[in-house]
Structure 1
């Protein structure tokens, strides 16, 4: 029951994260700057310049907005094209990850046996994790580009100092949700990565092995007789040398053993 609840929570939180990332691609104000004002006052603004992944826009004090759409793909600014590619790659991986995780969840009745479903869930978690990293790389690339002009000591004429907009922060929160969901998925199927180990317990001359050890039976793995009395080889004839060795046990040793018992 606990495993099922963790998987459902991971599915919900990872889906919410991908929804945040998808919304940021259509949102405005990825970067924004403002110009004008009266006497340095920030109450009355004259103009705002802002951009997203698809266009550059200008809004004046009368709320009239004029936009210039980015040209065809091959003439777009390289860093914008890189951000687009990383986000689309992350969304594609997230789609496959969500599909694998939905099939591999314990509460669904598709996907086969439990071991097969755990493997599918693990593969989906890996897709989520890699897709989340791809999205983080996209947002960091955009932030780095904006920060290069924001914190520059001097700028060329016509270059504006932009600030980071709301979509960047929303996308980073979405990436955090995606990675958290991937971790929750992996926690429920960690036994696929780390199989159960064999544990051996030794008590004197006898050796007991963990019952989870594969290929062991009740009589052939848990008890190992002492070498003092030889070994039993089955229904066939025993080795003559071992029989003679057993027959050569001295009375002194037998008496000491009996006295100990």
Structure 2
């Protein structure tokens, strides 16, 4: 029962993390222009993995998609690939997790379902690591430019999408670890359930056979000098 509850909690954590990771792809604010050292701010610049935008003081936004994928910076291409991989891995992890849970009716025997659940946990851990790496790589670029005194272009700060991505990656990793630990609990319970009682059964059967055979030896009569 405890293993089933752990699997349900792990499934809810991983699904929540996968939803958060998936929501970071269309989120606009991966980085936002900083107002540090600026007295008057007339426009706000922000960007994500697909476009860069500017919002003026009236609230009107003008966006421009990145014109060429091959002309992009390497870190943006790496972040795109890692985030897309995280979303795809999370999808397959959710499918395997649903099949491998004890409370579902598909997946075969308990031993097979435990292996599938462990595989789902590993996939979710890999998905979380991809998302964590992508957000950390993007944040590292922002912070390195912000603290570089020789960088004279527009500086940015961390956007909300990065924090959402980190939170989703953490949930995926935690849920995946719980999935992996559930197979250990299943194997331990299986060993306890199949304890060997062969010696006891053999001895009991021999005792029953010995007791069931009638004693056909002639009765012994002892006279008064038998114990002398």
**TM-score, normalising length from structure 2?**
0.80
Taking the aligned partners of 2:178 and 2:36, their CA distance within structure 1 comes to 49
Say whether residues 1:217 and 2:198 are aligned partners: yes
Say whether residues 1:27 and 2:4 are aligned partners: no
1:162 matched residue in structure 2: 156
1:129 matched residue in structure 2: 125
Contact conserved, 1:31 with 1:164, CA < 8 A, in 2?
yes
Contact conserved, 1:14 with 1:182, CA < 8 A, in 2?
yes
1:75 CA displacement: 2.2
Taking the aligned partners of 2:87 and 2:110, their CA distance within structure 1 comes to 28
1:71-90 aligned at under 5 Å gives the runs: 71-90=67-86
SS at match of 1:171: helix
SS at match of 2:32: strand
Contact conserved, 1:35 with 1:46, CA < 8 A, in 2?
no
Higher relative contact order (CA 8 A, sep 6+): 2
1:179-198 aligned at under 5 Å gives the runs: 179-191=173-185
Q: Which runs of 5+ in 1 are unaligned?
A: 199-210, 221-261
Say whether residues 1:64 and 2:49 are aligned partners: no
Taking the aligned partners of 2:36 and 2:169, their CA distance within structure 1 comes to 36
Taking the aligned partners of 2:49 and 2:188, their CA distance within structure 1 comes to 43
Runs of 4+ in 1 over 4 A off after TM superposition: 34-37, 191-198
1:217-256 aligned at under 5 Å gives the runs: 217-218=198-199
Contact conserved, 1:13 with 1:178, CA < 8 A, in 2?
yes
Taking the aligned partners of 1:162 and 1:12, their CA distance within structure 2 comes to 34
Taking the aligned partners of 1:36 and 1:46, their CA distance within structure 2 comes to 14
1:178 matched residue in structure 2: 172
Query: For this pair of structures, how many residues does the alignment match?
Result: 202
Say whether residues 1:109 and 2:90 are aligned partners: no
Taking the aligned partners of 1:104 and 1:197, their CA distance within structure 2 comes to 20
1:66 CA displacement: 1.2
1:9 matched residue in structure 2: 9
Q: Which runs of 5+ in 2 are unaligned?
A: 202-228
Taking the aligned partners of 1:180 and 1:36, their CA distance within structure 2 comes to 36
Taking the aligned partners of 1:3 and 1:52, their CA distance within structure 2 comes to 41
1:187 CA displacement: 2.1
1:115 CA displacement: 0.3
RMSD (CA atoms): 2.7
Looking at secondary structure, tell me which structure has more helix per residue: 2
1:138 matched residue in structure 2: 134
Contact conserved, 1:20 with 1:174, CA < 8 A, in 2?
yes
SS at match of 1:127: helix
